[in-house]
Amino acid sequence: MEKLLNVSEVEKIYGGRGRITKALGGISFNIAQGELVGIMGPSGSGKTTLLNCISAIDTVTTGHIYIDGVDITNLKRNQTAQFRRERIGFVFQEFELIDTLTAYENIAVALAIGGRNYPELRTLVMQAADMVGIGDILQKYPQELSGGQKQRVAAARALAVQPSIVLADEPTGALDSHAAKMILESFSRINRRLGVTILMVTHDAYAASWCSRILFLRDGMIFSELNKGKNDRKTFFEHIMEVVSVLGGDSVCAG
């Protein structure tokens, strides 16, 4: 499979003058086009830092990150903003929707900033909404939606720009188990049917069991890796729980 994301010897050091934290310790891995990959690890192991570096929200101290062959650690500030807007879809734990905009407008806003014309914008919004099954709630405002519906609006917003990769930070963290299952089913469907590459940080072994591969972080490095292979989800869940217990149980996993 084609390599979509290449993280190469990335170090991230915070602070200075005796107050140094090495959040990422020279981490390297690849993600192929069309993978659905989970990142798990104890609190403080570097998961959010890694996601922030991949999304160019934060800069690396050393090393390189390539997305679709573009070294995002070498982009100028305005190129970074454009790359992030056009090539990366984000889904956050707390949805991050704009309260004064309808679901439709929330999905459309990034496309409008990107300069899409109206018919194209409408088509992309409707396609994305269709993929996550929210065609009937597009005129509602966030406060009129359930948590699960809000997260599906957020997923549609991420997908509408047709990104190279979707980055999700604890996407089920604020949801009850039914809503979590619905968003995970959406991710899985989008991944299988459209081949969208998804990288998801999660503390939840159940959420992780929907992935095709899990990277386990400890102290800013990959401690272990699990492939779903031909296992069913229940067996994969059990394998995940085995690694979680070695890594430190509760601090890794809420599920």
The two tokens of residue 86 are: 């056009």
CA–CA gap between residue 84 and residue 93 (Å, rounded): 19
Choose which of 6, 8, 33, 48 interacts with ligand ATP (CB under 6 A): 48
Region from 45-53, 63-71, 188-196, 229-237 binding ligand ATP, contact rule CB under 6 A:
45-53
Q: Pinpoint the alpha helices (H) of the chain.
A: 47-54, 77-87, 103-113, 118-131, 147-160, 177-194, 205-208, 233-247
Answer yes or no: are the C-beta atoms of 11 and 24 closer than 8 Å: yes
Indicate the burial class of 54 (C-beta count within 10 angstroms; 0-12, 13-18, 19 or more): buried
CB of 86 or CB of 219, closer to ligand ATP: 219
Q: Can you give the length of the chain in residues?
A: 255
- Among the listed ranges 14-22, 74-82, 177-185, 192-200, the one in contact with ligand ATP (CB under 6 A) is 14-22
Instruction: With beta carbons less than 8 A apart as the criterion, state whether 109 and 117 touch.
Output: no
Residue 114 in contact with ligand ATP, rule: CB under 6 A: no
CA distance 87 to 81: 10
Verify binding: residue 41, ligand ATP, rule CB under 6 A. Answer: yes
Does residue number 213 form part of the binding site for ligand ATP (CB under 6 A)? no
Q: Could you tell me which stretch among 29-37, 46-54, 66-74, 88-96 binds ligand ATP (CB under 6 A)? A: 46-54
Residue whose C-alpha is closest to residue 199's, from 180, 215, 181: 215
Nearest distance from C-beta of residue 6 to ligand ATP, angstroms: 20
Site map (CB under 6 A) of ligand ATP, residues 224-253, x = contact: ------------------------------
Does 45 participate in binding ligand ATP (rule CB under 6 A)?
A: yes
Part of the chain binding ligand ATP (CB under 6 A), chosen from 43-51, 117-125, 171-179, 231-239: 43-51
Q: Can you tell me which of 7, 23, 67, 215 binds ligand ATP, judged by CB under 6 A?
A: 23
**Residue 120 near residue 138, CB atoms below 8 Å:** no
CB of 3 to ligand ATP, least distance (A): 24
Give the residue with the Cβ less far from ligand ATP, 128 or 199: 199
Kindly state whether residue 218 participates in binding ligand ATP, applying the rule CB under 6 A: no
CA distance 145 to 223: 39
Which residue, 58 or 86, has its beta carbon nearer to ligand ATP? 58
